[in-house]
Amino acid sequence: MAKSEAISWFRIQEMFRFQAFHMYGIIGTAVTLGVIGVALIKKFKIRDFHGNPISFYPKEKSIIRYLLGGIIFGLGWALSGACPGPMVVNIGYGFLTMTIVFLFALVGTYLYGLIKDKLPH
Amino acid sequence: MIAGIMFFLLYFGQSFGFSSNLRTICAAAGAGKKTKFFDFKWKTQVWNLVFLVGAIIGGFIAKQFLSTDLPVQISADTISDLAKLGIAAPASLQPAELFSLDAILSVKGFLVLAMGGLMVGFGSRYAGGCTSGHAISGLSDLQVPSLIAVMGFFIGGLAMTFLILPLIF
């Protein structure tokens, strides 16, 4: 993650400005390999370590929550330049101020839990 | 490699999604007593917290042993766009204008990081996932909700980049 610079605010800005292939290459590679792998697991019904079939949980059908939630997430992503995983990689990397972002992400998660039932899903 | 980790987790009977950790930490801190959303068996999610700790250690290792300390090689177009916002060309991985100690000691600097984090935390739970859960795991399974969420990520991200950032900086 750190080596691919996906944890850099600069790279996220560059991505949202469509000025380099970098981030699309990283995500695209992961998704392409992912699609192939998931298809293979389903086709050959590959079992996991415990011998249980690997199942995929379809997310609940809805548009509004994914769109609205996605937009809010995107706003935060472009502002802080970090999604949850890279936040903690940054902290390990020595950007300790990222701890603020992480703590407020916890607050945000808590807020969602608090008002969940009042939001359209 | 990211896809490799996803299959590794699937193989061990789990799924790949980072933002669930935020919910787990809230639950572990006792939020379940007051709010039903956090009232679940968070101990079953400890493996994901181990992943979180691993990510911190990974960041540390990358810095100590793999880092070349070269600035991020972003495109010249991005550098000139950011210069218009008053953000200097990269000197390391992150802009000092946002993440230096000086920056966070100002009200604006603190609010930028706080609001960013707040929206990421809130949005990822509302949408049911973040970049790893939706863009990578969800799209790998060709799930429509994930595609909608990723479109949302971009609508929000583009609005912030082109409409809101110029107002802030």
Establish, for the pair of chains A and B, how many residue pairs have beta carbons separated by less than 8 Å.
387
A90-to-A85, A109, A119 alpha-carbon distances in Å:
9, 20, 32
User: A109, B99: Cβ pair inside 8 Å?
Assistant: no
Other residues' Cβ atoms within 10 Å of the Cβ of residue A118: 6
CA distance B55 to chain A (A): 5
Report whether pLDDT(B96) > 80.
yes
Q: Tell me whether residues A76 and B118 touch, CB distance under 8 A.
A: yes
Cα(B49)–Cα(A76) distance, integer angstroms:
22
User: Does A10 reach chain B within 8 Å, measured CB to CB?
Assistant: yes
Closest partner CB to B152 (pick from A69, A97, A112): A69
Residue of B nearest to A76 (CA): B116
pTM assigned to the model: 0.90
Q: In whole angstroms, how large is the CA radius of gyration of chain B?
A: 18
> B115-158 pLDDT, tens per residue?
999 999 999 999 888 888 888 888 888 888 999 999 999 999 99
Per residue in B24-46, pLDDT (tens digit) is 888 887 788 878 888 888 888 88
Which helix H or strand E contains A81, and what residues bound it? none
Distance from CA of B65 to the nearest CA of A (A): 11
Residues of A in contact with B21 (CB under 8 A): 84
Phi, psi values for residue A102, rounded to 5°: -65, -45
What tokens were used for A34? Answer: 């992912």
What is the ipTM, given to two decimal places? Answer: 0.89
Contact criterion met (CB below 8 Å) for A103 and B25: no
* Type and span of the H or E element at B141: none
Which DSSP category does B94 fall into?
Answer: S
